[in-house]
A and B are shown apart, each in its own frame.
Chain A
Amino acid sequence: MSSFFIAGHEFHSRLFTGTGKYASSAAMIESLTSSESELVTLSLRRMDLKNQTDNILQPLQQQGMKLLPNTSGARTAKEAIFAAELAREALETNWVKLEIHPDPRYLMPDGMETLLAAEQLIKKGFVVMPYVHADPVLCKRLEEVGCQCVMPLGSPIGSNMGLASRPFLEIIIEQSRVPVIVDAGIGAPSDAALALEIGADAVLVNTAMAVAKQPKQMGKAFRLAVEAGRMAYESGLAEKGVQANATSPLTDFIGALS
Chain B
Amino acid sequence: MRIMLNDVCHEFDGKTVADLLTSLDKSQQGIAIAINQQVVPKSLWSTTELSEQTQVFIFESIAGG
- Over the window 46-85 of chain A, the binary record of Cβ atoms lying under 8 Å from chain B Cβ atoms (1 yes, 0 no) is 1111001111111000000001011010000000001001
Q: Is B42 an interface residue (CB 8 A)?
A: yes
In A21-66, which residues have CB < 8 Å from any B CB? Answer: 22, 25, 28, 41-49, 52-58
In this complex, the member of B31, B40, B59, B61 whose beta carbon has the largest number of chain A beta carbons within 10 angstroms is B61
Chain B residues with CB under 8 Å of A47's CB are 6, 26, 31, 58-60
Find the B residue at minimum CB distance from A42: B61
Q: Which of A19, A54, A89 contacts B65 (CB 8 A)?
A: A19
Q: What total of A-B pairs shows CB separation below 8 Å? A: 98
Residue contact B65 to A41, C-beta cutoff 8 Å: yes
Q: Which of A44, A67, A82 contacts B60 (CB 8 A)?
A: A44
The count of residues in chain B whose C-beta lies closer than 8 Å to any C-beta of chain A is 27
Q: Is A206 an interface residue (CB 8 A)?
A: yes
Q: Assuming the A-B contacts A46-B57, A49-B24, A90-B60, are A55 and B29 also in contact, with contact meaning beta carbons closer than 8 angstroms in the complex?
A: yes
Find the B residue at minimum CB distance from A82: B37
Chain B residues with CB under 8 Å of A28's CB are 63
Q: Which of A19, A42, A90 contacts B31 (CB 8 A)?
A: A90
Q: Assuming the A-B contacts A47-B6, A49-B5, A49-B8, are A90 and B30 also in contact, with contact meaning beta carbons closer than 8 angstroms in the complex?
A: yes
Q: Within the assembled complex, what's the spacing in Å between the Cα atoms of A85 and B32?
A: 9
In this complex, the member of B5, B30, B57 whose beta carbon has the largest number of chain A beta carbons within 10 angstroms is B30
Find the B residue at minimum CB distance from A17: B65
Residue contact A72 to B42, C-beta cutoff 8 Å: no
Residue contact B42 to A57, C-beta cutoff 8 Å: no
Q: Is A91 an interface residue (CB 8 A)?
A: yes
Q: Within the assembled complex, what's the spacing in Å between the Cα atoms of A157 and B59?
A: 25
The count of residues in chain A whose C-beta lies closer than 8 Å to any C-beta of chain B is 37
Q: Is B39 an interface residue (CB 8 A)?
A: yes
Q: Within the assembled complex, what's the spacing in Å between the Cα atoms of A22 and B29?
A: 21
Find the A residue at minimum CB distance from B60: A47
Q: Is A86 an interface residue (CB 8 A)?
A: yes
Chain A residues with CB under 8 Å of B64's CB are 18-20, 42-43, 45, 70, 72
CB distance from A153 to the nearest CB of B (A): 13
Residue contact A89 to B62, C-beta cutoff 8 Å: no
- A residues at B contact (CB < 8 Å): 18-20, 22, 25, 28, 41-49, 52-58, 67, 69-70, 72, 82, 85-91, 97, 99, 206
17 contacts between A and B (CB under 8 A): A19-B63, A20-B64, A42-B61, A42-B63, A43-B62, A43-B63, A46-B59, A47-B6, A53-B60, A57-B30, A58-B29, A72-B65, A89-B39, A89-B42, A90-B32, A99-B65, A206-B65
